Amino acid sequence: MTTLAGAGLRSDGPSPQLTGTELDAPGSRYTETVRMVGLYVLCIAVALGITALLVLAVGGTPGSVIDALFRGSVGSPGALGRTLDDTVPVLLVALGTLIAVRAGMFNIGQTGQLVFGGFCAALVALKVHGPGPLVLILALVAGTLGGAAWAGIAAGLYTWRKVNVVISTLLLTYVATQIVDYAVSSQAVLEEPSKSQIGSLAQSAPLPANVRLPHPGNFPGFGFSLGLVIALAILAVAMLLLARSRWGIHLRMSGANPVAARRFGVRVAMVAGGALILSGALAGLAGGAMLTGQVYRIQGGFANTFGNDGLLAALVCRDRPGWLLPVAFVFGMIRTGGNYFLATGVPNYLAQVLQGLLVLAAIFPPVYMERREWARRLKAAKVLALRAA
Protein backbone atom coordinates (compact mmCIF):
# COMPACT_ATOMS: atom_id res chain seq x y z
CA MET A 1 0.00 0.00 0.00
CA THR A 2 1.49 3.29 -1.07
CA THR A 3 0.48 6.50 0.68
CA LEU A 4 0.16 9.52 -1.55
CA ALA A 5 1.82 12.46 0.22
CA GLY A 6 -0.39 15.47 0.56
CA ALA A 7 -3.44 13.69 -0.91
CA GLY A 8 -4.37 11.47 2.01
CA LEU A 9 -5.25 8.61 -0.46
CA ARG A 10 -3.94 5.11 -1.03
CA SER A 11 -3.33 3.00 -4.08
CA ASP A 12 -2.65 -0.72 -4.48
CA GLY A 13 -0.62 -0.05 -7.62
CA PRO A 14 2.85 1.42 -7.93
CA SER A 15 3.38 5.02 -6.96
CA PRO A 16 3.35 7.34 -9.99
CA GLN A 17 6.66 8.86 -10.94
CA LEU A 18 6.53 12.62 -10.75
CA THR A 19 8.59 14.99 -12.80
CA GLY A 20 9.81 17.65 -10.39
CA THR A 21 7.80 18.20 -7.26
CA GLU A 22 4.24 18.90 -8.29
CA LEU A 23 3.11 19.59 -4.75
CA ASP A 24 6.00 21.80 -3.68
CA ALA A 25 7.15 23.79 -6.70
CA PRO A 26 4.69 26.50 -7.74
CA GLY A 27 7.37 28.34 -9.66
CA SER A 28 10.63 30.09 -9.03
CA ARG A 29 11.12 31.95 -5.79
CA TYR A 30 11.96 35.04 -7.81
CA THR A 31 8.59 34.89 -9.58
CA GLU A 32 6.73 34.48 -6.30
CA THR A 33 8.62 37.42 -4.77
CA VAL A 34 7.85 39.67 -7.71
CA ARG A 35 4.20 38.65 -7.58
CA MET A 36 4.03 39.39 -3.84
CA VAL A 37 5.71 42.80 -4.19
CA GLY A 38 3.42 43.71 -7.08
CA LEU A 39 0.39 42.72 -5.03
CA TYR A 40 1.57 44.89 -2.12
CA VAL A 41 2.08 47.87 -4.44
CA LEU A 42 -1.35 47.37 -5.98
CA CYS A 43 -3.12 47.09 -2.59
CA ILE A 44 -1.38 50.17 -1.17
CA ALA A 45 -2.22 52.11 -4.33
CA VAL A 46 -5.87 51.09 -3.98
CA ALA A 47 -5.87 52.14 -0.30
CA LEU A 48 -4.39 55.53 -1.16
CA GLY A 49 -6.79 55.92 -4.08
CA ILE A 50 -9.84 55.26 -1.89
CA THR A 51 -8.53 57.74 0.68
CA ALA A 52 -8.03 60.35 -2.06
CA LEU A 53 -11.61 59.87 -3.22
CA LEU A 54 -12.87 60.32 0.35
CA VAL A 55 -10.79 63.49 0.71
CA LEU A 56 -12.29 64.87 -2.51
CA ALA A 57 -15.77 63.92 -1.28
CA VAL A 58 -15.41 66.10 1.83
CA GLY A 59 -14.07 69.06 -0.15
CA GLY A 60 -10.34 68.64 0.38
CA THR A 61 -7.43 68.05 -1.96
CA PRO A 62 -5.27 64.91 -1.69
CA GLY A 63 -2.04 66.88 -2.16
CA SER A 64 -2.72 69.19 0.77
CA VAL A 65 -3.68 66.24 2.98
CA ILE A 66 -0.48 64.34 2.18
CA ASP A 67 1.53 67.48 2.81
CA ALA A 68 -0.21 68.00 6.17
CA LEU A 69 0.36 64.37 7.10
CA PHE A 70 4.11 64.58 6.53
CA ARG A 71 4.55 68.08 7.94
CA GLY A 72 2.60 67.14 11.04
CA SER A 73 4.53 63.93 11.66
CA VAL A 74 8.13 64.34 10.45
CA GLY A 75 8.21 67.79 8.86
CA SER A 76 9.89 69.51 11.81
CA PRO A 77 12.03 68.47 14.78
CA GLY A 78 9.12 68.95 17.16
CA ALA A 79 6.74 66.91 14.99
CA LEU A 80 9.26 64.09 14.75
CA GLY A 81 9.61 64.07 18.53
CA ARG A 82 5.87 63.76 18.99
CA THR A 83 5.74 60.93 16.47
CA LEU A 84 8.43 59.07 18.42
CA ASP A 85 6.45 59.56 21.63
CA ASP A 86 3.34 58.11 19.99
CA THR A 87 5.40 55.21 18.67
CA VAL A 88 6.24 54.00 22.21
CA PRO A 89 2.82 52.68 23.35
CA VAL A 90 2.04 51.30 19.89
CA LEU A 91 5.35 49.40 19.88
CA LEU A 92 4.90 47.96 23.39
CA VAL A 93 1.32 46.85 22.79
CA ALA A 94 2.20 45.33 19.40
CA LEU A 95 5.12 43.39 20.87
CA GLY A 96 2.90 41.92 23.58
CA THR A 97 0.25 41.02 21.02
CA LEU A 98 2.80 39.27 18.82
CA ILE A 99 4.08 37.20 21.78
CA ALA A 100 0.56 36.14 22.74
CA VAL A 101 -0.39 35.22 19.16
CA ARG A 102 2.79 33.20 18.74
CA ALA A 103 1.62 31.07 21.68
CA GLY A 104 -1.85 30.71 20.19
CA MET A 105 -3.52 33.21 22.58
CA PHE A 106 -5.52 35.85 20.73
CA ASN A 107 -5.55 38.77 23.12
CA ILE A 108 -7.76 41.63 21.92
CA GLY A 109 -8.15 43.34 25.29
CA GLN A 110 -5.04 45.52 25.01
CA THR A 111 -7.06 48.69 25.56
CA GLY A 112 -8.35 47.47 28.92
CA GLN A 113 -4.92 46.26 29.99
CA LEU A 114 -3.36 49.57 28.98
CA VAL A 115 -6.03 51.55 30.84
CA PHE A 116 -5.77 49.45 33.98
CA GLY A 117 -1.98 49.67 33.85
CA GLY A 118 -2.20 53.44 33.58
CA PHE A 119 -4.65 53.48 36.50
CA CYS A 120 -2.30 51.47 38.72
CA ALA A 121 0.63 53.69 37.73
CA ALA A 122 -1.42 56.81 38.57
CA LEU A 123 -2.34 55.41 41.99
CA VAL A 124 1.32 54.89 42.86
CA ALA A 125 2.53 58.15 41.32
CA LEU A 126 -0.06 60.26 43.17
CA LYS A 127 -0.43 58.37 46.44
CA VAL A 128 3.10 57.18 47.22
CA HIS A 129 5.49 59.73 48.68
CA GLY A 130 9.25 59.51 48.36
CA PRO A 131 12.14 60.39 46.08
CA GLY A 132 10.88 61.21 42.59
CA PRO A 133 12.98 58.67 40.66
CA LEU A 134 11.98 55.88 43.05
CA VAL A 135 8.28 56.72 42.80
CA LEU A 136 8.62 56.87 39.00
CA ILE A 137 10.11 53.38 38.89
CA LEU A 138 7.43 52.08 41.24
CA ALA A 139 4.73 53.65 39.05
CA LEU A 140 6.06 51.95 35.92
CA VAL A 141 6.31 48.63 37.77
CA ALA A 142 2.76 49.10 39.07
CA GLY A 143 1.54 49.77 35.54
CA THR A 144 3.26 46.64 34.27
CA LEU A 145 1.86 44.49 37.08
CA GLY A 146 -1.59 46.01 36.64
CA GLY A 147 -1.70 45.10 32.96
CA ALA A 148 -0.36 41.62 33.75
CA ALA A 149 -3.00 41.10 36.44
CA TRP A 150 -5.79 42.22 34.12
CA ALA A 151 -4.64 39.80 31.41
CA GLY A 152 -4.07 37.19 34.13
CA ILE A 153 -7.82 37.13 34.81
CA ALA A 154 -8.42 36.01 31.24
CA ALA A 155 -5.53 33.52 31.46
CA GLY A 156 -6.97 32.06 34.66
CA LEU A 157 -10.45 31.76 33.19
CA TYR A 158 -9.03 29.99 30.15
CA THR A 159 -6.96 27.55 32.22
CA TRP A 160 -9.69 26.90 34.77
CA ARG A 161 -12.84 26.88 32.67
CA LYS A 162 -11.64 27.12 29.05
CA VAL A 163 -13.32 30.51 28.66
CA ASN A 164 -12.55 31.88 25.20
CA VAL A 165 -9.66 34.34 25.47
CA VAL A 166 -11.01 36.62 22.74
CA ILE A 167 -14.32 37.06 24.60
CA SER A 168 -12.84 37.44 28.09
CA THR A 169 -10.15 39.96 27.13
CA LEU A 170 -12.67 42.00 25.14
CA LEU A 171 -15.24 42.13 27.94
CA LEU A 172 -12.61 42.94 30.56
CA THR A 173 -11.81 46.07 28.57
CA TYR A 174 -15.21 47.53 29.44
CA VAL A 175 -14.73 46.71 33.11
CA ALA A 176 -11.33 48.43 33.18
CA THR A 177 -12.77 51.52 31.50
CA GLN A 178 -15.55 51.74 34.10
CA ILE A 179 -13.07 51.38 36.95
CA VAL A 180 -11.01 54.30 35.65
CA ASP A 181 -14.12 56.42 35.05
CA TYR A 182 -15.16 55.84 38.66
CA ALA A 183 -11.66 56.51 40.01
CA VAL A 184 -11.31 59.89 38.31
CA SER A 185 -14.83 60.87 39.43
CA SER A 186 -14.21 60.13 43.11
CA GLN A 187 -12.02 62.39 45.25
CA ALA A 188 -11.43 59.45 47.55
CA VAL A 189 -9.56 57.73 44.72
CA LEU A 190 -8.07 59.89 41.97
CA GLU A 191 -10.31 62.85 41.18
CA GLU A 192 -8.43 66.15 40.97
CA PRO A 193 -9.00 67.88 44.35
CA SER A 194 -8.93 71.42 42.95
CA LYS A 195 -11.58 70.81 40.27
CA SER A 196 -14.31 73.36 40.82
CA GLN A 197 -16.02 73.89 37.48
CA ILE A 198 -19.33 72.08 37.21
CA GLY A 199 -19.38 69.80 34.19
CA SER A 200 -15.61 69.91 33.68
CA LEU A 201 -13.86 66.76 32.55
CA ALA A 202 -13.29 64.19 35.30
CA GLN A 203 -9.58 63.57 35.63
CA SER A 204 -6.83 62.97 38.13
CA ALA A 205 -4.41 65.53 39.45
CA PRO A 206 -1.31 66.04 37.30
CA LEU A 207 1.76 64.02 38.21
CA PRO A 208 4.44 65.88 40.16
CA ALA A 209 7.28 67.07 37.95
CA ASN A 210 9.76 64.72 39.64
CA VAL A 211 7.58 61.66 38.90
CA ARG A 212 7.73 61.99 35.14
CA LEU A 213 9.93 60.23 32.62
CA PRO A 214 12.81 62.43 31.48
CA HIS A 215 12.02 64.16 28.22
CA PRO A 216 15.17 65.70 26.71
CA GLY A 217 14.06 68.59 24.52
CA ASN A 218 10.60 70.11 24.25
CA PHE A 219 8.25 71.14 21.46
CA PRO A 220 8.76 72.94 19.07
CA GLY A 221 12.33 71.64 19.33
CA PHE A 222 13.26 67.99 18.99
CA GLY A 223 12.70 65.85 22.04
CA PHE A 224 11.41 62.45 23.04
CA SER A 225 10.50 60.61 26.21
CA LEU A 226 12.85 58.14 27.84
CA GLY A 227 10.04 55.67 27.27
CA LEU A 228 11.37 55.23 23.73
CA VAL A 229 14.68 53.95 25.07
CA ILE A 230 12.86 51.57 27.41
CA ALA A 231 10.65 50.27 24.58
CA LEU A 232 13.61 49.71 22.25
CA ALA A 233 15.54 47.86 24.95
CA ILE A 234 12.55 45.60 25.64
CA LEU A 235 12.10 44.97 21.91
CA ALA A 236 15.77 43.97 21.51
CA VAL A 237 15.63 41.56 24.46
CA ALA A 238 12.32 40.07 23.30
CA MET A 239 13.62 39.49 19.76
CA LEU A 240 16.68 37.73 21.14
CA LEU A 241 14.63 35.52 23.45
CA LEU A 242 12.07 34.69 20.79
CA ALA A 243 14.77 33.63 18.35
CA ARG A 244 17.39 32.04 20.59
CA SER A 245 15.89 30.84 23.87
CA ARG A 246 14.13 27.64 24.91
CA TRP A 247 11.19 29.77 25.95
CA GLY A 248 10.91 31.12 22.42
CA ILE A 249 10.92 27.60 20.98
CA HIS A 250 8.29 26.42 23.47
CA LEU A 251 6.20 29.48 22.64
CA ARG A 252 6.19 28.66 18.94
CA MET A 253 5.53 24.96 19.56
CA SER A 254 2.58 25.73 21.83
CA GLY A 255 1.01 27.97 19.23
CA ALA A 256 1.72 25.75 16.23
CA ASN A 257 0.65 22.37 17.64
CA PRO A 258 -0.27 22.09 21.33
CA VAL A 259 -0.72 18.30 21.16
CA ALA A 260 2.75 17.71 19.71
CA ALA A 261 4.22 20.26 22.13
CA ARG A 262 2.83 18.32 25.12
CA ARG A 263 4.38 15.12 23.80
CA PHE A 264 7.74 16.87 23.76
CA GLY A 265 7.29 17.84 27.40
CA VAL A 266 6.17 21.45 26.92
CA ARG A 267 3.76 22.68 29.59
CA VAL A 268 1.43 24.28 27.08
CA ALA A 269 -1.03 25.77 29.56
CA MET A 270 1.75 27.49 31.49
CA VAL A 271 3.54 28.73 28.36
CA ALA A 272 0.36 30.02 26.69
CA GLY A 273 -1.03 31.54 29.86
CA GLY A 274 2.32 33.16 30.59
CA ALA A 275 2.40 34.63 27.09
CA LEU A 276 -1.03 36.17 27.60
CA ILE A 277 0.04 37.62 30.95
CA LEU A 278 3.23 38.99 29.41
CA SER A 279 1.16 40.57 26.65
CA GLY A 280 -0.94 42.30 29.30
CA ALA A 281 2.18 43.37 31.17
CA LEU A 282 3.56 45.12 28.09
CA ALA A 283 0.21 46.83 27.48
CA GLY A 284 0.19 47.94 31.12
CA LEU A 285 3.74 49.26 30.76
CA ALA A 286 2.55 51.18 27.70
CA GLY A 287 -0.13 52.76 29.88
CA GLY A 288 2.45 53.65 32.52
CA ALA A 289 4.79 55.10 29.90
CA MET A 290 1.96 57.20 28.43
CA LEU A 291 1.03 58.50 31.88
CA THR A 292 4.55 59.38 33.01
CA GLY A 293 5.96 60.38 29.64
CA GLN A 294 3.18 62.11 27.71
CA VAL A 295 -0.16 62.99 29.31
CA TYR A 296 0.84 63.21 33.02
CA ARG A 297 -2.72 62.58 34.26
CA ILE A 298 -5.39 59.94 33.76
CA GLN A 299 -8.96 60.54 32.62
CA GLY A 300 -11.75 58.97 30.66
CA GLY A 301 -10.57 58.12 27.17
CA PHE A 302 -7.02 57.75 28.46
CA ALA A 303 -6.27 54.89 26.04
CA ASN A 304 -6.91 57.14 23.02
CA THR A 305 -7.06 54.08 20.69
CA PHE A 306 -3.41 53.19 21.40
CA GLY A 307 -4.46 49.66 22.36
CA ASN A 308 -6.26 49.15 19.05
CA ASP A 309 -3.35 50.66 17.13
CA GLY A 310 -0.94 48.22 18.76
CA LEU A 311 -3.21 45.32 17.88
CA LEU A 312 -3.38 46.44 14.26
CA ALA A 313 0.39 46.98 14.11
CA ALA A 314 0.95 43.40 15.30
CA LEU A 315 -1.54 42.20 12.69
CA VAL A 316 0.43 43.95 9.96
CA CYS A 317 3.74 42.48 11.16
CA ARG A 318 2.41 38.89 10.97
CA ASP A 319 4.74 37.23 13.49
CA ARG A 320 7.81 39.17 12.33
CA PRO A 321 9.17 41.08 15.35
CA GLY A 322 11.76 42.82 13.16
CA TRP A 323 8.94 44.75 11.48
CA LEU A 324 7.47 46.06 14.72
CA LEU A 325 9.55 49.23 14.99
CA PRO A 326 9.00 50.58 11.44
CA VAL A 327 5.30 49.65 11.48
CA ALA A 328 4.79 51.27 14.90
CA PHE A 329 6.56 54.38 13.62
CA VAL A 330 4.23 54.57 10.61
CA PHE A 331 1.25 54.29 12.96
CA GLY A 332 2.76 57.09 15.03
CA MET A 333 3.11 59.20 11.89
CA ILE A 334 -0.54 58.71 11.00
CA ARG A 335 -1.60 59.62 14.55
CA THR A 336 0.39 62.83 14.81
CA GLY A 337 0.04 63.87 11.17
CA GLY A 338 -3.70 63.25 11.25
CA ASN A 339 -4.09 66.03 13.82
CA TYR A 340 -3.17 68.52 11.07
CA PHE A 341 -5.93 67.42 8.71
CA LEU A 342 -8.32 70.03 10.07
CA ALA A 343 -6.02 72.77 8.80
CA THR A 344 -6.76 71.53 5.26
CA GLY A 345 -10.52 71.45 5.81
CA VAL A 346 -10.57 67.65 6.08
CA PRO A 347 -11.93 65.86 9.19
CA ASN A 348 -9.12 64.30 11.22
CA TYR A 349 -11.01 61.00 11.49
CA LEU A 350 -9.92 60.35 7.90
CA ALA A 351 -6.50 59.57 9.37
CA GLN A 352 -8.07 56.53 11.03
CA VAL A 353 -9.72 55.61 7.74
CA LEU A 354 -6.33 55.79 6.03
CA GLN A 355 -4.82 53.68 8.79
CA GLY A 356 -7.49 51.02 8.43
CA LEU A 357 -7.12 50.89 4.66
CA LEU A 358 -3.34 50.54 4.95
CA VAL A 359 -3.78 47.70 7.44
CA LEU A 360 -6.06 45.90 4.98
CA ALA A 361 -3.55 46.57 2.20
CA ALA A 362 -0.78 45.01 4.28
CA ILE A 363 -2.83 41.98 5.32
CA PHE A 364 -4.46 41.07 2.01
CA PRO A 365 -1.39 40.03 -0.10
CA PRO A 366 0.00 37.29 2.19
CA VAL A 367 -3.49 35.95 2.94
CA TYR A 368 -4.32 35.87 -0.76
CA MET A 369 -1.03 34.15 -1.62
CA GLU A 370 -1.51 31.56 1.13
CA ARG A 371 -5.02 30.74 -0.06
CA ARG A 372 -3.72 30.57 -3.63
CA GLU A 373 -0.99 28.15 -2.52
CA TRP A 374 -3.47 25.93 -0.70
CA ALA A 375 -5.71 25.85 -3.77
CA ARG A 376 -2.72 24.90 -5.93
CA ARG A 377 -1.71 22.10 -3.58
CA LEU A 378 -5.28 20.77 -3.43
CA LYS A 379 -5.45 20.74 -7.22
CA ALA A 380 -2.11 18.92 -7.44
CA ALA A 381 -3.27 16.36 -4.88
CA LYS A 382 -6.40 15.67 -6.93
CA VAL A 383 -4.26 15.16 -10.04
CA LEU A 384 -2.08 12.65 -8.18
CA ALA A 385 -5.16 10.83 -6.93
CA LEU A 386 -6.52 10.54 -10.49
CA ARG A 387 -3.18 9.23 -11.77
CA ALA A 388 -3.04 6.64 -9.01
CA ALA A 389 -6.61 5.43 -9.64
209: buried, middle or exposed (CB in 10 Å: 19+, 13-18, 0-12)? Answer: exposed
Residue 338: the pLDDT is: 86
Give residue limits of the domains in the chain: 59-216+223-346
211 three-class SS:
helix
Residue 319 backbone class (left: φ over 0; alpha: ψ -120 to 50; beta: rest): left
Report the candidate in 163, 154, 144 with the shortest Cα–Cα distance to residue 107: 154
Q: What interhelical angle do 246-256 and 268-290 show, nearest 10?
A: 110
Per-residue pLDDT of the chain (389 residues; tens, 9 = 90+): 333 333 333 444 444 444 444 444 445 677 877 888 888 899 989 998 999 999 999 888 888 888 888 998 998 999 999 999 999 999 999 999 999 999 999 999 999 999 999 999 999 999 999 999 999 999 999 999 999 999 999 999 998 989 999 999 999 999 999 999 999 988 888 888 765 555 567 889 899 999 999 988 887 788 889 999 999 999 999 999 999 999 999 999 999 999 999 999 999 999 999 999 999 999 999 999 999 999 999 988 898 889 999 999 999 998 899 999 999 999 999 999 888 887 788 888 888 888 899 888 888 888 888 888 888 888 888 888 888 87
If one counts every other C-beta atom within 10 angstroms of the C-beta of residue 192, the result is: 18
> What is the spatial distance between Cα 42 and Cα 56, in angstroms, rounded to a whole number?
21
Buried b (16+ CB within 10 A) or exposed e, 134-145: ebbebbbbbbbb
Query: How deeply is 275 buried, as exposed, middle or buried, from its count of CB atoms within 10 A (0-12, 13-18, 19+)?
Result: buried
pLDDT at 319: 86
pLDDT score for 190: 85
Q: What is the pTM of this model?
A: 0.87
**Burial track 302-340 (b if 16+ CB lie within 10 A, e otherwise):** bbbebbbbbbbbbbbbeeebebbbebbbbbbbbbbbbbb
List CB contacts of 233: < 8 A, sequence separation 6 or more.
none
> 183-191: long-range contacts (C-beta < 8 A, 24 or more apart)?
183/119, 183/298, 184/298, 184/299, 184/300, 189/123, 190/119, 190/122, 190/123, 190/126, 190/298
Coil, helix or strand at residue 70? helix
What is the spatial distance between Cα 374 and Cα 282, in angstroms, rounded to a whole number? 35
Residue positions counted in the chain: 389
* CATH of span 59-216+223-346: 1.10.3470
**CA gap 144, 146 in Å, rounded:** 5
Q: In the prediction, which pLDDT does 345 show?
A: 81
Distance CA(24)–CA(373), nearest Å, equals 10
Q: For residue 191, count other CB atoms closer than 10 A to its CB.
A: 18
Q: Could you give the CA distance from residue 69 to residue 75 in angstroms, rounded to a whole number? A: 9
